[in-house]
Structure 1
Amino acid sequence: MDPRSEVLLRQADLFQGSLLLAGLPADDLLGTLKAARGWCWHAGDQAALNARFSERSHFGVEAPEQPFEAAVLFLPKSRDLANYLLNALASRLAGRELYLVGEKRGGIEGAAKQLHAFGKPRKLDSARHCQLWQVTVEHPPVAQPLESLAERFELPLASGPLQIVSLPGVFSHGRLDRGTDLLLEHLDNLPVGRVLDFGCGAGVLGAALKRSYPQSQVTLLDVDAFAVAASRLTLAANGLQAEVICGDGIDAAPRDLDVILSNPPFHTGVHTNYQASENLLKKSAEHLRKGGEMRLVANSFLRYQPLIEGALGNCQVRAEGNGFRIYQATRG
């Protein structure tokens, strides 16, 4: 059981009614709180919850339409995303209870100050290196449309300026990260055909690929529903057409690909998690056609080259700079 869920269950009497659990972990919490429902935006967690608690977890970037009498937000890593989610929940809870739970290392004490906008918060519990806060929503806000919180910026590419639309919670929100910047400089001489942008974030690489290789069929894939929504906005802002998929890792990707391009993630919330990236490297041969190429950027300290060589039989460092390396390999 996730330690945040354990803290909730220490106060289980508070959570017996119609409750929405926003950003809940994929543990047994729904099995214990029988009247609760979930709201999830992580495709892997949603699949696990659906397998165990069918029809009890809503997936997407907006709160479910069904009414709820109280809500718990599991604090996300992003402060911008927390603002959006707290606003969305509080706008539906006039005179009722909103709870916030999170790890101390995740900044729960600072985040609890955000509850002052709705009423007078109080700390209910502190255990398992987590805290649980409660506020009665005396000042319900007007719900903010998600797109109104988008950050927009422009990339000067050789093919012309590319408009990027980023949403709260998306990797490198509102700016171009150094790894992707390096990879954008090395998109030349890629095979034309079926191309995957793995871990697409706001769609920077996928949009740049489609701009540079308009005849290619580009698929953008991310585990996070907010990233998928941002990628669709980025494509639309540039008049580009591509497939966008929300799925849990490389297993959700098409096969028989000509190119896999990625700035792969290695964090889940505040925790380091290499599983998605390592699965991508180990299973790349299953998704690439013969002669297909994988090109990715990663922090120089990550030992990805042996994994790529193990999967594809070859790997070279194409470029290096600012603490990042670009790896290139071809399926023989």
Structure 2
Amino acid sequence: MDPRSEVLLRQAELFQGRLLLAGLPADDLLGQLPAASGWSWHAGELQTLERRFNGRCSFGVAPPPGEFDAAVLFLPKSRELTDYLLQALATRLAGRPLYLVGEKRAGIERAAKQLARLGRSRKLDSARHCQLWQVEIEQTPAAPQLDALAHHFTLELEDGPLQVISLPGVFSHGRLDVGSALLLEYLDNLPGGRVLDFGCGAGILGATLKRRYPQSELVLLDVDAFAVESSRRTLAANGLEAEVIAGDGIDAAPRQLTAIVSNPPFHQGVHTSYQASETLIERASEHLVSGGELRLVANAFLRYPPLIEQHLGACQTIIERNGFRIYRAVRA
């Protein structure tokens, strides 16, 4: 059981009615709170929850419809995303309680100050290195608009300016990260056909690829609903069309790909995790046609070349700069 869920269950008498659990972990909390439902923006956690609690959890960037007696927000990593989620939940809870739970190292005490903007807040519990806070929603705030919270910026690329729309919580929100910037310089000579942008984020790589290879069928994949929505908006802002998929890792990707391009993720919430990128390397050959190519950027200290050669074939380092390397491998 996730420690945040354990803290909630210490106060289980507060959570017996129609409860919405927002950003809930993929544990047994729904089993312990039979009247509760979930709202997730993480496709992998949703998949796990749906297997155990079919029909009790929704996915997306907005709260599900329906009436709730209370809601709990599991603190996300991003402060801007926390603001959006608190407001989105508060608009549905006039005169009712909203709870916030999170780990101390994730910044729950800082986030409690954000909670206080909605009413008189108080700390209910502190245990398992977590805290639980409550606020009664006295005045219903205006519903937050994602458009107003999005960061719009322009990248000057060799193919021309690219308009980017980044939503709160998306990797490298509102800016171009160093790894992607390097990879953007080395997208030439990819095989045409069906190309995947794995871990698409705000859609920068996918949109650039679609513009550079207009005859190719681009697929953009990310585990996060806010990233998926960002990618759709970035594509639309540039007059581009591509398939955008919410899914957990490379197993959610289509087969018969001619290329996979990626700046793979390395965070799971506040925790560092290389599982998604390592699984990508281990299973890329299952999704690539013969002669299909994997091209990715990664921190130079990561020991990816042996893993690539073990599962895909000879690994070429195209460039190393600013602590990053671009690797290329072709399926035999």
TM-score bin (small chain): over 0.9
The whole-number CA distance in structure 1 between the counterparts of 2:322 and 2:139 is 46
Q: How does 1:117-266 map to 2 (within 5 A)?
A: 117-266=117-266
Q: Which residue of 2 aligns with 1:60?
A: 60
- Structure 1 residue aligned with 2:295: 295
Name the CA distance, whole Å, in 2 between partners of 1:76 and 1:114. Answer: 13
1:95 corresponds to which residue?
95
State the alpha-carbon separation in 2 of the partners of residues 298 and 35 from structure 1.
44
Q: Taking every aligned residue pair, what percent have the same amino acid on both sides?
A: 71
Work out the number of aligned pairs and report it: 332
1:138 Cα deviation after fit:
1.2
SS at match of 1:305: helix
| Whole-angstrom CA distance in 2 between matches of 1:202 and 1:100 | 27
Shift of the alpha carbon at 1:147? 2.1
C-alpha distance in 2 between matches for 1:85 and 1:240: 29
Give the structure 2 partner of residue 72 of structure 1: 72
What letter is aligned with 1:55? G
Larger displacement relative to structure 2 (145-154 or 170-179):
145-154
Instruction: Report how far residue 196 of structure 1 moved.
Output: 0.2
- What residue in structure 1 maps to residue 312 of structure 2? 312
Secondary structure of 1:298's partner?
Answer: strand
Q: C-alpha separation between the residues in 1 aligned to 2:139 and 2:263? A: 42
Residue type of the alignment partner of 1:236: A
Alpha-carbon shift at residue 48 of structure 1 (Å): 0.7
Alpha-carbon distance in structure 1 between the residues aligned to 2:242 and 2:265: 21
Q: How does 1:276-287 map to 2 (within 5 A)?
A: 276-287=276-287
Structure 2 Cα separation of the partners of residues 49 and 146 of structure 1: 26
- RMSD in angstroms over aligned alpha carbons? 0.7
* 2:51 aligned counterpart, secondary structure: helix
Q: Which string of whole-angstrom CA distances, capped at 9 and with x for unpartnered residues, describes residues 95-129 of structure 1?
A: 11000000000000000000111111110000000
Structure 1 residue 55 displacement after superposition: 0.7
Say if 1:117 and 1:139, in contact at 8 Å, map to a contact too.
no
- Please state how far the C-alpha of 1:192 moved relative to its aligned partner: 1.0
- Give the deviation of 1:139 after TM superposition: 2.5
Gaps of 5+ in 2: none
1:326 aligns with 2:326: yes
Where structure 1 has 5 or more consecutive residues not aligned to the other structure, the ranges are: none
Tell me the distance in 1 between the aligned counterparts of 2:182 and 2:126: 43
Instruction: Letter of the 1:224 partner, please give it.
Output: D
- The superposition leaves residues 175-213 of structure 1 with CA deviations (integer Å, 9 ceiling, x where unpaired) of 000000000000111111110000000000000000111
**The residue matched to 1:233 in structure 2 has which SS?**
helix
Task: Give the Cα separation in 2 of the matches to 1:97 and 1:315.
Answer: 55
Residue aligned with 1:255, SS: coil
Query: What TM-score do the two structures reach when normalised by structure 1?
Result: 0.99
**1:258 aligned counterpart, secondary structure:** strand
